């Protein structure tokens, strides 16, 4: 594992995160599969190892600063550099409550995972990413993270009005740009991606795309070359509007 290019995927025990981890491992990377729950994470690792892929479990709760620090300590003891970070972990708490009735504690919980989590993890692993040549950071955003799309009546995303989830993804897109600006001179590329309407536990498996289809753009942006973009927002059809 140490002789390969290294990747970390958060929320990797199921859904899009699992598909991303599998895709990166199939591309020849050694992949750390981050997950809150040890039993689920280890089960996911066992499944991919059974397919001959080079993956390892990393217990990681992106909403818990101490968990993040423990995970980074584990990584730092095992590897010298991290080439790819995929900030995939995310939650939705409630899809039925109108904005005027969303509880502040629920909104804070969503932000803790969807927004502060990616910032927390990125900051913590940045020394390892800087130690790699041409590091790549991918933020898993959403079509509802685009102000242009959620205000466009012709877009499917305009029908979604989730105060906490939507605003967390809009903010994550801004975070992406901020990191991209800081790290561009170091050759580190930071981009946000939207997977499309994917069948996941997050949406009660109501999506139309498979997790593998949803993972494709994140994998592509994780593997872009030196001439690839940074500070952008991308989907399966290319660059997306902010």
Pairing mode, if any, of strands 238-239 and 233-235? antiparallel
Say if residues 238 and 194 touch (Cβ distance below 8 Å).
no
Q: Is 229 exposed, middle or buried (0-12, 13-18, 19+ CB in 10 A)?
A: middle
Block residue for tokens 């242009």: 148
Which one is catalytic: 32, 111, 157, 165?
Answer: 165
Block residue for tokens 């933020």: 139
Say if residues 188 and 228 touch (Cβ distance below 8 Å).
no
Q: Is 111 a catalytic residue?
A: no
Give 163-175 as a DSSP string.
HHHHHHHHHHHHH
CA distance 175 to 87: 12
Name the residues annotated as catalytic.
Answer: 165
């Amino acid at each position: 594992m140490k002789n390969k290019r290294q990747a970390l995927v958060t929320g990797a025990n199921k859904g899009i995160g699992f598909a991303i981890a599998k895709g990166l491992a199939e591309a020849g990377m050694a992949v750390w599969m981050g997950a809150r729950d040890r039993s689920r994470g280890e089960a996911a690792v066992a499944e991919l190892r059974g397919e001959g892929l080079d993956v390892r479990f990393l217990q990681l709760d992106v909403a818990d600063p101490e968990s993040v620090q423990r995970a980074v300590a584990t990584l730092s003891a095992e590897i010298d550099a991290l080439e790819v970070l995929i900030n995939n972990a995310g939650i939705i708490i409630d899809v039925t409550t109108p904005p005027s009735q969303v509880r502040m504690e629920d909104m804070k919980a969503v932000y803790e995972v969807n927004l502060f989590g990616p910032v927390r993890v990125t900051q913590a692993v940045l020394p390892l990413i800087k130690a790699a040549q041409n590091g790549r950071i991918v933020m898993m955003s959403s079509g509802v993270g685009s102000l242009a799309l959620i205000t466009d009546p012709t877009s499917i995303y305009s029908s979604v009005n989730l105060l906490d989830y939507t605003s967390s993804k809009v903010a994550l897109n801004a975070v992406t740009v901020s990191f991209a600006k800081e790290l561009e001179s170091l050759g580190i590329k930071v981009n946000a991606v939207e997977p499309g309407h994917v069948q996941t536990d997050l949406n009660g498996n109501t999506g139309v795309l498979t997790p593998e289809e949803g993972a494709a753009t994140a994998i592509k942006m994780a593997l872009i070359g030196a001439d690839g973009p940074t500070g952008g927002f991308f989907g399966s059809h290319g660059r997306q509007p902010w």
